[in-house]
Amino acid sequence: MVFLLIVILSVYIFEYINGFHDAANAIATVVSTKVMTPRVAVIMAAALNLLGALSGTAVAKTVGAGLVDTAYVTSTTILAAMLAGICWNLFTWWSGLPTSSSHALIGGLCGAAFASAGNHWNVIKWSVTKIDAHTGKAAWDGLWPKVIIPMISSPIAGLVGGFIVMTLLLILVQKWTPRMVNMTFGKLQIFSAAYMAWGHGFADAQKTMGIIALATFAATKAGTLEHLPPFLSFLHTPNFEIHLWIKISCAIVMGLGTWAGGWRIIRTLGHKLVQMRPIHGFAAEATGATILLVAGNLGMPVSTTHSITTSIMGVGAAKPHGGVDKVVAERIVWAWVLTIPCAGGLAYVLFRLLYLFLPA
């Protein structure tokens, strides 16, 4: 039981780091365009992260039960996955790279589960057809449809969507004075930043909800929670479910992490990648948040970072004289490519080390 609490604590630490690591996703543009001060923007992002985290569970169910065979998942598996995700997030935060916390978590879970299953690839649910018990409709589930395909399609959607939205806005305001454009979109960007902050909570907090649900389910299945004291009875989970205490705790921890801020990444997204004005920030945030909304309702754990960063790139490409710093963009893309294999490899090694000293 104590070990399970340690595992859950590691998930909360990951969620807290996710909050400040990915805070820039929601507020980098609104800060860089000087529509909000950093302090006010962080308060708003934390509040909307909290609200977004309580808005759904489709992604949580995908991460917790739809990517790896839960029969091979133990508390040690989850601890290794979380430690790998934490290490990768801290390294990329220190480097100022807006990488995906989602993909760090998914890579860590797959790598740790692979080690836990004795190097059997079938532990990973690559592609599974599920039949809805209520509607009878077939649905495609697993790593390919829910992670790999969205990992490719969501950045494309961000690039194309950001370019189209920015182009349409430039046509709309072509006869406006610069002062009118800045005043109008300075106000509108407050709403788009709030929308993006809500999308971050909706997309990212659900992923750790799924991991905690998986941890309590695995511990219950292993029989380690049979003699819980009454005040800890809520940990006993005979079926995989996203309980209310999991939703609320993950939402609060992410909000606290966002409150801590992530100024290194904010500088990369808000200043180095594209020089932005309020109209550009509005276009990028509206595009990125819409991608998160659609994907989240489909149960796809897409990257908040990929969605907003590629939306910013698309907006920059639509500017009359261009505006994307290609060197910075290339560093970001390489970090994306490396996240899942690096987090997965690290989780594999950590599981092997932890297995020598900790209970299964």
Any domain includes 98: yes
- By mean pLDDT, which of 123-137, 234-248, 330-344 is the weakest? 123-137
Instruction: Give Rg (Cα) of the chain.
Output: 20
Q: What would the mean pLDDT of 274-299 be, rounded to a whole number?
A: 88
Range of the domain at 50: 2-123+152-357
Q: Between 360 and 337, whose confidence is greater?
A: 337
Q: What pLDDT, on the 0 to 100 scale, is given for residue 5?
A: 92
CB 292 within 8 A of CB 304: yes
Closest CA to 337 of 23, 92, 24: 92
40-69 pLDDT, tens digit per residue, is 887 888 888 888 888 888 888 888 888 999
Any domain includes 140: no
Q: What pLDDT, on the 0 to 100 scale, is given for residue 261?
A: 63
Residue 351 has pLDDT above 60, yes or no: yes
Spell 117-142 as b/e; 16+ CB within 10 A means b. beeeeebbbeeeeeeeeeeeeeeebb
Any domain includes 133: no
Residue 270 has pLDDT above 80, yes or no: no
Q: What pLDDT, on the 0 to 100 scale, is given for residue 101?
A: 82
- By mean pLDDT, which of 282-286, 305-309, 319-323 is the weakest? 319-323
Q: Between 96 and 52, whose confidence is greater?
A: 52
CB 225 within 8 A of CB 235: yes
Q: What pLDDT, on the 0 to 100 scale, is given for residue 216?
A: 92
In 10 A of CB 320, how many CB atoms?
6
Q: What pLDDT, on the 0 to 100 scale, is given for residue 35?
A: 80
Any domain includes 297: yes
Any domain includes 73: yes
Q: Using H for helix, E for strand and C for coil, what is the string for 128-151?
A: EEEECCCCCCEEEECHHHHHHHHH
Q: How many domains would you assign to the chain?
A: 1
CB 151 within 8 A of CB 301: no
> Burial level of 43, CB count in 10 A (0-12/13-18/19+)?
middle
Residue 275 has pLDDT above 70, yes or no: no
Please provide the average confidence, as pLDDT, over all residues in the chain: 85
pLDDT band at 133 (very low <50, low <70, confident <90, very high): low
pLDDT band at 232 (very low <50, low <70, confident <90, very high): confident
Any domain includes 138: no
Any domain includes 147: no
Any domain includes 144: no
Name the pTM for this structure: 0.84
Rounded to an integer, what distance in angstroms lies between the CA atom of residue 125 and that of residue 132?
Answer: 18
Residue 126 is encoded by which pair of tokens?
A: 């690559």
